[in-house]
Structure 1
């Protein structure tokens, strides 16, 4: 945290959010995704010896051996991976949100302009707002296809 503040001239808060905390959170997510891609490309479906031999050029040997043997290959991590795989296979519905979170989709739906009908109602030429399904029903239909 101090390293970020020393290297960059960051304000403490932007829009009420702690800048350093937000950057740290984002960096941790990016690091986890990077490690996941490494595992997919260089470790998945291989023995430890094959994975050690398949080291990416961007990682030093000591760090790669630690990742393969001590992290991905540890009994604790293999147990966690097995449990996560079993839990994922138990899901009856898979999310179809894409890259947007459910909260973001719901927020966007609440901010959509109301739908108006151009059809006359009882002789009036004024546009009439069409009655829509409740937001939770529309959200379910949009994300669970």
Structure 2
């Protein structure tokens, strides 16, 4: 797991630059660690083949091969596309201890990682990712 400091990420922009490039909802989730409502995101129930990229910088994060239906209301993946495509932070917000998942390229908030929930996946991990944090590059 990569736990680099945000100052170590390749893509760095000012807050004003992010605000001009992202919609208000994208900014709230990606740059302010917000969460979209469950069952409302574009990708929570899609089975389209392709690569999921960071909506802020285009960095490839996950593929449809690792996507699974966890019935949680957000897109779920059992692993990222490759080692070091995402980074992890300890999140103590909302009275819980969670693992926050961020883009390793631009430090945008993607969602959270949960482990040991008993899903029948190769890793028993659930990367619970906001649809608004990603864009799907469809592949035939």
Larger % of strand: which?
2
Larger % of helix: which?
1
When normalised by structure 2's length, the TM-score is 0.20
Higher-RCO chain (CA-CA 8 Å, sequence separation at least 6)? 2
When normalised by structure 1's length, the TM-score is 0.20
> Larger C-alpha radius of gyration, 1 or 2?
1
